Amino acid sequence: MHLVIDEKRCKGCNLCTLVCPYRIFQPGHTPNERGIVQPILDRPERCPNCRLQHLYGRVICGYCQKICPDQAIRWEEDTPLARTKVVVEA
């Protein structure tokens, strides 16, 4: 699974940047085509949902998704044979 911000829904309120315990959501810098500065994702593969959502059969943590007022955050299936980034945390 991988984390996605829906560009059509996000209004750049940055609430998600306040709640993530991993600080995966960071304030963005560049306006998109709609003039909205969306958050950027810092190593989103660290989110436990990207690795464990299938195993647990539910969303884990999920603070970002719960606080987003525009339902702009979701996880999508990886495409088969897509490269997967592995993060080793000290």
Residue ranges in contact with ligand SF4 by CB under 6 A? 3, 5, 10-16, 19-22, 24, 39, 47-49, 61-64, 67-68, 70, 72-73
Angstrom distances, CA of residue 13 to CA of 9, 23, 32: 11, 16, 14
Nearest-approach distance from CB 3 to ligand SF4, in angstroms: 6
Q: Please check whether residue 67 is in contact with residue 19, taking contact to mean a CB–CB distance below 8 angstroms.
A: yes
Q: Tell me the closest approach of the beta carbon of residue 47 to ligand SF4, in angstroms.
A: 3
19 vs 80, beta carbon nearer ligand SF4: 19
Nearer to ligand SF4, 3 or 80 (CB): 3
Residue 20: alpha-carbon gap to chain centroid: 9
Instruction: Tokens for 28, please give them.
Output: 């963005």
| Helical segments of the chain, H only | 16-19, 48-56, 63-67
| Residue 42 or 82 with smaller CB distance to ligand SF4 | 42
